[in-house]
Amino acid sequence: MSSDKEVTIYDIAKRLNISPATVSRGLQDHPAISKKTKKRISEMVDEMGYRSNHFARNLRQKQTNTIGVIVHELNSSFITSVLAGIEKVSTEAGYDLIITHSSESVKKEAANAKNLFHKRVDGLIASLAFDTNGLDHFKPFVQKGVPVIFFDRVEQDGDSTVVVIDNVQCGYMATNHLIEQGCKRIANITSSLNRNVYAQRHKGYQDALFDHGLPFDKNLLIIDNLSEQGAISSALQVLKLKPLPDGIFITNDFVAAVCMKVFKEHGLRIPEDIAIVGFNNDAISKLVEPALTTINYSGMDMGMIAARNLIGHLEGVSNIHHTNTIVIRSELIIRKSSLKGG
């Protein structure tokens, strides 16, 4: 309603009988302005309730001090901690964040990218959607020289900088652990093999089988779409296998939790009948019963590193075009869902 006129540096200048340029410089703590003048300006700013106009500033400077973020979903503790990491670093460096999510759809991902591009973010940090195939919608950024860093879900196109974990090794660790527990017939429930993370985890799974002389049975590979419904049908698909597998590597904790529920409803005991290993160490992995063995890696670190590299590049202290892949540490957390020995 009310909304008195906005006060500008011109209003302040007039009241102080100085020029707007001086006010502007005073506000930026420019060395050419005397302390006395700065103090008078800052007092008048408070008195008149001035707020700077980002638009005028950005228009002039062609720089927004804003970083765009695109994630595939918000509702996992992993993503939340990545965001926390990005936020910590960028806030300290004086950058704002615009966070968007694609709901696992390329279409929305592209729309978000376009939007952030028009908002003229100084840089972009993104994790790809489930069905993203190709990086065309990020081309405009590359063309205008706006730096882009991908994390976790990335596209292996060689050109862009990525922050990831060693998914092959993780898949190997998980599968190897199941083998050590005595599993002979290990299934792999994972998601679209077009997504790097799932393809690589699956490769690790295969490698581990191979190294232990176990055959790879393609009937034991089940592709899931990460939804609750999808997880249920993946579980049912497992139940139809004859003989049943004695271990499953499921590359997503939520899916693993849903599967466990279905298995238990069908009278299977975990881990006795089927040992299970999940992925991501999501909050849910500790709450299901039995607690879920899973792969843990620090979202916070991943976020911080991505942000730090991006900002380093923006400020000219480093250059992301010299770095191609940054690998974060990851580990297997063993809980009851996979401990056959007892």
Partner DNA sequence: TTCTGAATCGCAACCGATTACATAAAAAGT
Partner DNA sequence: ACTTTTTATGTAATCGGTTGCGATTCAGAA
Closest approach of Cβ 32 to DNA, in Å?
Answer: 3
User: Is the CB of 19 or the CB of 219 nearer to DNA?
Assistant: 19
**φ, ψ at 180 (rounded to 5°):** -60, -30
Residue environment code for 206-226, b if the CB has 16+ CB neighbours within 10 A, otherwise e: bbbbeeeebeeeeebebebeb
Of 38, 57, 58, 82, nearest to 297 by C-alpha is 82
| Nearer Cβ to its own copies (251/285) | 285
Judged by the rule CB under 8 A, the positions of this chain that interact with its own copies are: 1-3, 6, 51-56, 58-59, 62, 73-77, 79-80, 83-84, 96-101, 103, 115, 117-120, 143-145, 228, 254, 257-258, 261, 264, 283-284, 286-289, 321
Q: List phi, psi (to 5°) of 34.
A: -70, 155
Q: Nearest distance from residue 7's CB to DNA, in Å? A: 7
Residue 24 sits at the vertex; the CA angle it makes with 18 and 30, to the nearest 5 degrees, is: 105
Q: From the list its own copies, DNA, none, which binds 289 (C-beta under 5 to 8 Å, kind-based)?
A: its own copies
Question: Which residues are CB-neighbours of 324 under 8 A, at least 6 positions away?
Answer: 158, 161, 162
When CB distances are held under 5 to 8 angstroms depending on the partner's kind, the choice from DNA, its own copies, none that residue 236 binds is: none
CA gap 152, 138 in Å, rounded: 17
Least distance to DNA, CB of residue 118, Å:
10
CB of 5 to DNA, least distance (A): 7
Closest distance between DNA and the C-beta of residue 58, in Å? 9
Judged by CB under 7 A, the stretch of 58-66, 176-184, 237-245, 300-308 that binds DNA is: 58-66
- Crossing angle of the two packed helices 77-92 and 299-314, in degrees rounded to 10: 30
Instruction: Find the binding residues for DNA in span 75-104 (CB under 7 A).
Output: none
Options 4, 59, 75, 218; binder of DNA; rule CB under 7 A: 59
By CB under 7 A, which span of 14-22, 207-215, 261-269, 296-304 interacts with DNA? 14-22
Which 3 state secondary structure label does DSSP give 189? strand
Check: CB of residue 268 under 8 Å from CB of residue 294.
Answer: no
- Binding pattern to DNA, positions 24-53, x when CB under 7 A? xx-xx--xxxxxxx------------xxxx
Task: Kindly list the distances between the CA atom of residue 177 and the CA atoms of 96, 289, 332, in Å, as whole numbers in the listed order.
Answer: 43, 19, 9
Residue 242 interacts, among its own copies, DNA, none and using kind-specific CB cut-offs from 5 to 8 Å, with: none
